[in-house]
Amino acid sequence: MSLTSRHASRFRPVEVTAEGADVQARVRHLLAGLRPGEAHLLDALHRVQEEMGYVPPQAIPLLATHFQTTPAAIYGVISFYSEIRTEPPPKVEVQWCSGPACLLKGGRNIRAALEAVLGCAMNSSTPDGAIGLRLVQCDGTCHLAPLVRVGGRYIGPLTVAEVVRLARRLKEGGQLS
CA-CA distance, 86 to 108, in Å (whole number)?
Answer: 26
CA-CA distance, 94 to 153, in Å (whole number)?
Answer: 10
Kindly write out the interface string for residues 92-131 of this chain, putting x where it contacts another protein by CB under 8 A and - elsewhere. ------xxxx-xxxx-xxx-xx--xx--------------
Query: Which H or E run includes 52?
Result: helix 41-52
149 — phi, psi (to 5°)?
Answer: -120, 135
Q: Is 39 in the site for another protein (CB under 8 A)?
A: yes
Q: Which of 5/33 has CB closer to another protein?
A: 33
Q: Which of 17/82 has CB closer to another protein?
A: 82
CA-CA distance, 145 to 154, in Å (whole number)?
Answer: 10
Which residues would be at the binding site for another protein (CB under 8 A)?
A: 37, 39-43, 45-46, 67, 73, 76-77, 80-84, 98-101, 103-106, 108-110, 112-113, 116-117, 136-145, 147, 154, 159-161, 163-165, 167
